[in-house]
């Protein structure tokens, strides 16, 4: 339990300076969303963040499907409580709240992952950590011979060591154009992720699995770039470039890891 949770003023001043802060990681979410325009929003007492926006009409069968979350864009605080709201157009919102003062929820802190059904509409897998760092992750690619990537498909996921659920940062089953941004170094291209903020307990390793197929403008067979990368708990996320057998490279870094 977060006994006597720090106040918001404590957080802004850097509670337990030199270590992490109480953070929530939303690892995965499944939902049966039938109305276009439905939004899923997470609140932590400081701000609300849209983490998913439903853009396609569900089929007649409906049913739960895995969502590729597009947030959060900054860390979710676990000071006291947080809440998830499913905002359905022309319908009352559906809400669920995690309350750190409730013994049932307080017992979940630092106890790996938990699943919560939300009114038979959604299921969220989450972890509440008393001492975690948050990082904004960047994934950069460089192709052999200076080729520009023409499109990409594949999956990028992260998993915290010891956890049984992954966070999906990128998931495209079909080749998608316009997924790259230029960088200061013209030979590297920044991949636009669905979400790029992760929270990690200070005493655990973050593992990332990259499995991409990259199309080049010369219509050759797509390049396959697969890598498994590990990051320690030193508060930085930065790796040397991983190079495959064909000479293509991927590297992952965080411009700034926040405590």
Whether the CB-CB separation of 251 and 140 falls below 8 Å is answered with yes
Q: Which of 155, 259, 129 is nearest to 210 (CA)?
A: 155
Residue 230 has pLDDT above 90, yes or no: no
- What is the model's pLDDT at position 15? 33
Residue 62 has pLDDT above 80, yes or no: no
| Distance of alpha carbon 240 from alpha carbon 90, whole angstroms | 50
> Would you give the distance in Å from CA 3 to the centre of its chain?
27
- What is the model's pLDDT at position 185? 76
- What is the model's pLDDT at position 177? 73
- What is the model's pLDDT at position 247? 87
Whether the CB-CB separation of 34 and 62 falls below 8 Å is answered with yes
CATH 2.60.40 fits 21-130, yes or no: yes
Q: How many residues can be counted in the chain?
A: 259
Q: What is the pLDDT of residues 116-151, one digit of tens each?
A: 999 999 999 999 999 998 888 889 898 887 777 888
Q: What is the pLDDT of residues 195-212, one digit of tens each?
A: 999 999 988 888 899 999
- What is the model's pLDDT at position 255? 56
Q: What is the pLDDT of residues 63-107, one digit of tens each?
A: 899 999 999 999 999 999 999 999 999 999 999 999 999 999 999
Whether the CB-CB separation of 241 and 233 falls below 8 Å is answered with no
Name the residue ranges covered by the structural domains of the chain.
21-130, 135-258
Q: Which of 148, 178, 188, 164 is nearest to 114 (CA)?
A: 164
| Distance of alpha carbon 42 from alpha carbon 230, whole angstroms | 28
Burial group, residue 106, by CB count within 10 angstroms (0-12, 13-18, 19+): middle
3-state SS assignment for residue 22: strand
């Amino acid at each position: 339990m977060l006994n006597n949770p720090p106040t918001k003023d404590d957080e802004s001043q850097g509670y337990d300076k030199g270590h992490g802060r109480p953070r929530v990681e939303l690892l995965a979410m499944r939902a049966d969303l039938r109305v276009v325009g439905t939004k899923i929003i997470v609140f932590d007492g400081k701000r609300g963040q849209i983490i998913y926006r439903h853009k396609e009409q569900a089929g007649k069968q409906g049913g739960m499907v895995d969502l590729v979350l597009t947030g959060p864009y900054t860390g979710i605080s676990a000071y006291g409580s947080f809440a998830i709201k499913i905002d359905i157009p022309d319908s009352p919102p559906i809400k669920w709240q995690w309350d750190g003062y409730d013994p049932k929820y307080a017992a979940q802190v630092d106890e790996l992952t938990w699943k919560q059904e939300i009114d038979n509409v959604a299921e969220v897998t989450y972890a509440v950590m008393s001492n975690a760092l948050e990082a904004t992750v960047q994934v950069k690619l460089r192709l052999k011979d200076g080729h520009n990537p023409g499109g990409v498909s594949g999956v990028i996921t992260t998993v915290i060591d010891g956890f049984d659920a992954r966070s999906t940062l990128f998931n495209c089953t079909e080749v998608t154009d316009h997924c790259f941004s230029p960088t200061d170094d013209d030979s590297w291209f920044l991949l636009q992720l669905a979400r790029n903020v992760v929270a990690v307990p200070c005493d655990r390793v973050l593992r990332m699995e990259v499995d991409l197929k990259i199309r080049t403008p010369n219509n050759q067979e797509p390049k396959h770039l697969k890598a498994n990368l590990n990051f320690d708990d030193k508060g930085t996320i930065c790796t040397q470039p991983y190079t495959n057998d064909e000479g293509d490279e991927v590297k992952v870094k965080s411009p700034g890891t926040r405590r």
